[in-house]
A and B are shown apart, each in its own frame.
Chain A
């Protein structure tokens, strides 16, 4: 590529891409410093009191919500977005039923950890355990991971051989099935009444809890942000590994990848299982924080909201999807007067982003290039579709 061409390329890249390039050009220690400052700022956020920035706080407006609570929601949504990004952004599989995995994660901790759940009651009767017995939180978290991973494999096994758009519809159906089962199977999930007394890291919710109580949400936020950071690190490692490269190859051209010895089905299944496990983890944290869940919390609209977070933010780019998640969780809370209209706004945002900037707000560079290639092809040969 000649110098002139490169300059033209830079000019064509939008401001977001240019900031990205500038950042990558910085010396390593400066980037490390930037990351450290960012992390400190994230942990400091619930106490936010910097003059000039306090208007960001959702409790600075009339009828505003608990700021740390909103931050917690944002953090959980970021977890969801990062998990779903593995499926949509990295492996290129459109999963519209991600809420199903979120729900399975939430129900795992509820069913095994709460003394009010039919499962725990059954175990107590079977093994003559005391009435206060339930599985501890840490074990529940592990169970949530394992169960969602298994459910991801169970859903993925028959469906991942399908064409992309069929997969989307089947996963949508899966999300609905999970909700309907949670509602109808009263003997297992308490049905529409939901399950209360879901434990947190300190055990079941009670006024004696020192750190993870129901009133002060700050520790919950700090816990969630820790999860987020660990997840970001893990997914970044995954992205740059053999598996990550296989996903990329499959996403760009499945047949070519298969010819090169990458078995698409195996890696798609991995993406599905890992994405599912991360979704389950977020659901688990969500259920622990609120200590109560019922089936209505896991509806299709939320599932589509998850997809919107990823595609609006920029699928494939973790910073992008996190931004998408934060925006979609935070804006309706901060501007409560429009909160009613948020679904309309999400829908409009999805349509507009797809038509005007299909790569998302903060795009992944490779994704942008893929889309540009297709567009160029279309201009060369105005073919069908």
Chain B
């Protein structure tokens, strides 16, 4: 128990936690959107994120990005990365919906069947990136697929520099970008769901699918839309992850996905603002916990938080609802 470290550097730990939680929050949005409309845990969403990181890596490899490129190139690569990751992740999410979930929805299958299908899909995606692609492309792009199932490093696109210091809390440029980007993406999504015509359709289907259908909302299109939106957010998270941590792996999605799901439940699954709050909260709790005990217990802390939340407030901090005005 390392209380001195925690109390002494509380500001630093909070900032670290927030920048970590921002990525959880972006992934959590995917779970929350799908759950809000379909009442279904899209277990394969973690792999949507993983595909995004590989798309970013692929882009940077294709352009031959070196460590610490000049600022102009870095910005260009980040913008392009966002587009490529969003397309790759959104496309994966859409493909998952079309291939796996739609036939099951037609059959009115019980929720557990959806969940098992999703687990199978996520296993397939993990293995495609861990084994099939290395087998096919290992000799073509050895920097990406040279060693099956191994961690792949990425070029450092922005060097971590301390931007400013308040007390003994220093905030780096990368942390700043991650937090700002996450909040901006969230704000755009929130606006989209609450203020646009399409968003109104999403909320309508979340509230009452039959009535929405009677009012002329195309349900299938709404479902496709939420999968794509969740995928885009996961793509953004993938870009931020690549920038901040600079590595990926075929199995990276699993633990991250579980934590993002925890974040979604923590904030109230189905609630967009809840996902942001839950993500940031979980990130901070995790960093505090890791400081108190030791970083090897980090993952356990997230799961314990999940169990405790589900036991005492299963509807999360802000309550679960995509349909209500709050969302």
A interface, CB within 8 angstroms of B? 92, 94, 96, 158-159, 162, 164-166, 168-170, 172-174, 176-177, 180-181, 183-184, 300-301, 304, 307-308, 311, 340-341, 343-344, 346-351, 354-355, 358, 370-371, 374-375, 377-378, 383-385
Contacts and interface: CB of A to CB of B under 8 A. Distances in A.
B297 A180 contact: yes
Contact of A173 (B113, B117, B258): B258
B23 interface: no
A308 B122 CA distance: 13
A269 B127 CA distance: 35
A350 B125 CA distance: 13
Given A374-B107, A385-B39, A358 B299 contact: no
A351 B109 contact: no
Interface of A is mostly: helix
Contacts of A375: 107-108
B254 to A, nearest CB: 7
B303 A176 contact: yes
B116 A94 contact: yes
Interface of B is mostly: helix
Contacts of B58: none
6 contacts: A170-B306, A343-B126, A348-B120, A358-B107, A378-B107, A385-B40
A164 B39 CA distance: 12
Contacts of A378: 106-108
Given A176-B258, A351-B117, 8 more contacts: A94-B116, A177-B300, A343-B123, A343-B126, A354-B109, A355-B104, A375-B108, A378-B106
A344 B108 contact: no
3 nearest A-B pairs in the assembled complex, by CB-CB distance: A350-B120, A347-B123, A384-B209
B123 A304 contact: yes
B226 to A, nearest CB: 13
Contacts of B314: 162, 166
Nearest to A175: B303
Interface string B92-107: 0000000010011111
Given A349-B120, A374-B108, A173 B265 contact: no
Nearest to A376: B108
Interface in B259-306: 261, 265, 296-297, 299-300, 302-304, 306
Contacts of A308: 120
Contacts of B112: 92, 94, 164-165, 168
B80 interface: no
Contact of A347 (B106, B121, B219, B302): B121
Given A300-B254, A349-B120, A355 B209 contact: no
Contacts of A172: 258
B318 interface: no
B216 interface: no
A190 to B, nearest CB: 15
A351 B106 CA distance: 16
A166 B310 contact: yes
Interface centre among A94, A96, A347 (most CB of B within 10 A): A347
Contacts of B38: 385
Contacts of A301: 123
A168 B100 contact: no
Given A169-B261, A358-B109, A180 B299 contact: yes
B28 to A, nearest CB: 13
A41 B303 CA distance: 46
B176 interface: no
Contacts of B131: 340-341, 343-344
A346 B123 contact: yes
Given A344-B123, A347-B124, A170 B108 contact: no
B128 interface: yes
B300 A181 contact: yes
A162 B316 CA distance: 13
B310 A351 contact: no
Nearest to A180: B300
Contact of A169 (B41, B107, B128, B219): B41
B100 A351 contact: yes
B5 interface: no
B307 interface: yes
Contacts of A383: 108, 209-210
Contacts of A350: 116-117, 119-120, 123
Contacts of B311: 158-159
A351 B124 CA distance: 9
A375 B120 CA distance: 22
B41 A165 contact: yes
B124 A355 contact: no
Contacts of A158: 307, 310-311
Interface centre among B126, B265, B303 (most CB of A within 10 A): B303
B117 A354 contact: yes
A304 B115 CA distance: 12
B153 interface: no
Nearest to B299: A180
A253 B303 CA distance: 29
A166 B132 CA distance: 32
B8 interface: no
A151 B288 CA distance: 28
Nearest to B109: A358
Contacts of B120: 308, 346-351, 354
